Each structure stands twice: as C-alpha cells, then as structure tokens.
Amino acid sequence: MRWLALCCRPEAPPGDTDALAWLALGFTPRVARLEESVVAEVSASLRLFGGARALRLRLQAEAEQAGLALGALAWAPTALAALALARCPGYALRSCLSDRLDALPLAALSAAQAHHAMLARLGCRRLGDLRRLPRTPLARRFGPALLAALDQAYGEQPEAHAWLTLPERFEARLELPYRVEHAPVLLHFAEGLLRQLCAFLAARQAGVQSLRLAWQYDAMRAHDVASQGELTVATADPTRDLPRLTRLLAEHLAHTTLAAPAGEITLSAEHLLPQQAQNAGLLPGSHEPEERLHTHALLERLSVRLGAGQVREGRLHEDHRLGHMQRWHPWPAPPSPAAAQPVRCPPGPQPTWLVEPPQPLRCDAREQPLLAGPLTRISGPHRIEAGWWEGRSQLQTRDYFVYRSATRGLLWVYHERLPDTALGGSGWFLHGVFA
C-alpha cells in the first residue's frame, strides 16, 4: 500500500483541512481525516496519474487553484508513518521505513507525544529509543494505546479508517468568533467556506452557477427582525474559480445591510453542473476562452453595482413576429430549459436595419407601394399570421415583400391583410432596410 499524508500550513484556517479532504477525494476514493492531516491511500491512483511525482504536482496545482495553503506532504506504507514523516520533513532521508521512523523525535507520533515528559526522563528522545524499551512494562506503564500506535506506524498491526464520501450537495456552516454588524465583514469569514466549496467542486469535476450565503442573526435582535438573512450569488456560466467567486460575493455584500448583528454563516450550493477542462488553443496567442471568462466576470460585477435589471441580455424566442423574436432578461439570465433545441428562423429574408415605428407608404393606382418613386418587387409575399393567443391588440396578419427602390436600395415592406379602414391609409408600411 502507498499512503500520502497532506497537511495544511500552520497559519491556515481549520476549515482548509476539510477542503483538502474534498480535494483529495478527486484523486482517490480512500481518503480519511487523521488528526490535523488528511491521509489518502493512492496505490491505485499512481498509474492513472503517471506516478508519484506527477500525482504530487497535480495535487499541489489543484490546491493552489482552490486557494489552499498546502504545507507538508509525505509518502509511506502506513497512514501513521506518512503523518509522522509529514510532521518532520527534514528526517525523511533513509530508504528503509523502520530506519526513517526510528530517527524521528517523539513529537512525530501523537501517542508518544502525550507521554513526552515521562519518556524523556527515561532517556527516550526518538521513536527508535521507544521501540527498544521492554514491551510488557511499557504497556503496563503507559497503556496499550502507545504500543498499538507504534505497531500501526511500523506496519506490524493493521489500521482502520473511516473513509470520507462526497455528498450530493455542498453546505458548510461557520460560527463567527464575534458578532458582525456590517455585511462586508462577513467576506473575511466566508472566504474559508468558499475554499471548501471550490475544493468540493474540484473533486466532483463540477461548477456552480448559483450559491447561497445565509447568516443567523443574534438572539438579542429586535422583535421585528427576522431570524436570518441571505443572498444568492449567480454567475453567467458554471465555475469553481475562487478569485471570481470571492470578488462577486464581495460586490453583493457591499450592497447588503444587516438588520441585526450576525453570529453564524452558512454557504450552500445545491445545483452542481458538470465543468470540463478548457482545451488549449491550436495557435499561439489564442486566449478566446479566457477573454470570455473575463468579460463574464466584468458583466457580473456591473450587474451587482448598477442594480438588478440594469445589465440585460437578449435571447432568441421562437416567434414569427419580428418584435417578439428576442426577449431581454436581467443578466445573467437563468438557463433556458429548451436551450438544447435550436430556435427555428421565420420564413423569408430578414432586414439589416429596422424602421421603428413602421413608416406608412402611399400606393399607386394598381395599389402598389411607392417610396420616392415606383418600387420593383423582388420576392414575396411571406405571410405572417401570429399573436392571436395574446389578444387582438397583438394580432399580426401581414404579407412581407422585398422591394427594390432606385434611390433607397432593398426595402422590407409589408401589407396589412386586415387594415383598419377607419384610420384610412393604404395598408402598406416600410419596416426595414437591407444593407
């Protein structure tokens, strides 16, 4: 067996170890928490990822992308030995496991560290000194747990671990060390939860397009204040980019006011979407995916700063009426349920520029339209009869034509099949111009 012990840096927040455990689950299903570290049995993963060195580099790159401060890392045939070597990286210079462990100080093994004062008076400074003591008196003096930990570290007794599993949805809770009265201060504590979320998403090879941050108000709040508040952060596309999510959450919190001091926060993401790695460009200098992501991040921040509905995006809608072919939604708009089905184009040509409102035209004795002289028909009619389901005011019964004018070029003209005779007019209108 091949065990890998991963430790966060001492200055890292406690939640980073949980995030590191989620991250390791993306490389092997046999991951467990062992004291302050994460241990993973990676024998079956070495060939898949190209060897121990390639796996270590991949882990370090994923941890850096998730914003985790990865510290010591060590390999060993047992989990306790890997943890001991990770705690003392400068001692891992010998090839044989027993020799490497014998040279470690007592602090490398938690069971020995608990009796460090007494063992020091007995002349024990290293694990090798401890192993040379008589086993029966040692067990009688310090209990069987010390011998069991030694035997498990040296591979003389089997180890048992509770393997971690990835849940279907992400939810992390954090009790704040003090009551927070201003919403932007919550970002400092939410960053740790965001790191856990990004590591969780990396293990699931997924991204989020919406996440929820909720906070619990203090029990001493006013009677007219709700027990909690929340906000939802939406992105244009599935992502697990920590800086992008952090900046977007900061923008939302800057426009949020807490109704009372908050003492607890919860970050959750229910709808996970698959996210594939981006392919590299064929030609050097091709950064189209990166430019698109930068554009999306800018639009996300503008939509928060300017307010809901101030940044909008148009989406095609299947309708033959020109004014209803595109609908505008606040950006980023939720994904359309029929996004996989292409929108069918209406029959007939579509103009380059529209004339809004349509310009009435005169007609000649043959009831043909005129505009700065006679017009020559190119194509048509293209009949549109739609909108009856929205009431008579939205009903359109038109025949569209393409006409050529000697002075104006190609024109998009329609004739009302059911003109309002009470208003007069010819029933002919100019609705567009072709380039």
Q: How confident is the model at residue 338 (pLDDT cuts 50, 70, 90)?
A: very low
Distance of alpha carbon 403 from alpha carbon 412, whole angstroms: 7
Residue 187 pLDDT more than 60? yes
- CA–CA gap between residue 86 and residue 92 (Å, rounded): 9
φ/ψ of 278, rounded to 5, equals: -75, 140
Alpha carbons 199 and 23: distance in angstroms, whole number: 5
Reference 112, options 96, 97, 98, 101; nearest CA is 101
Sequence-distant (≥ 6) Cβ neighbours of residue 148 within 8 angstroms:
111, 157
pLDDT in tens, 6-22: 888 887 777 788 888 88
Return the closest-CA partner of residue 427 out of 390, 391, 400, 404: 400
Greater pLDDT, 366 or 21: 21
In this prediction the pTM is: 0.66
pLDDT digits (tens, 9 = 90+) for 288-308: 555 666 677 777 777 777 776
Q: Is the dihedral of CA 26, 74, 155, 95 positive or negative?
A: positive
CA atoms of 76 and 82, how far apart (whole Å): 5
List residues bridging with 258 in a β-sheet: none
Q: pLDDT of 381-422, one tens digit each? A: 888 777 667 666 667 778 888 888 888 888 888 888 776 654
Under the banding of pLDDT at 50, 70 and 90, the label for residue 339 is very low
β-pairing, 31-34 vs 70-76, is unpaired
Closest C-alpha among 324, 357, 353 to residue 429:
357
Token pair for 63: 């941890």
- Helix, strand, coil percentages (3-state) for the chain, rounded to 5, are 35, 30, 35
Output phi, psi for 308, to 5 deg: -65, 135
Three-state DSSP class for residue 291: helix
pLDDT digits (tens, 9 = 90+) for 48-77: 888 888 988 888 888 888 888 888 888 899
- Long-range contacts, 115-124 (Cβ 8 Å, 24+): 115/142, 115/146, 118/142
161 backbone dihedrals φ, ψ, rounded to 5°: -130, 150
Q: What is the pLDDT of residue 283?
A: 57
Q: How far apart are CA 91 and CA 69, in angstroms?
A: 22
For every residue of 191-220, DSSP letters joined together read HHHHHHHHHHHHHHTEEEEEEEEEEEEPTT
**Range from 67-71, 260-264, 310-314 that averages highest in pLDDT:** 260-264
Strand partners, 374: 370
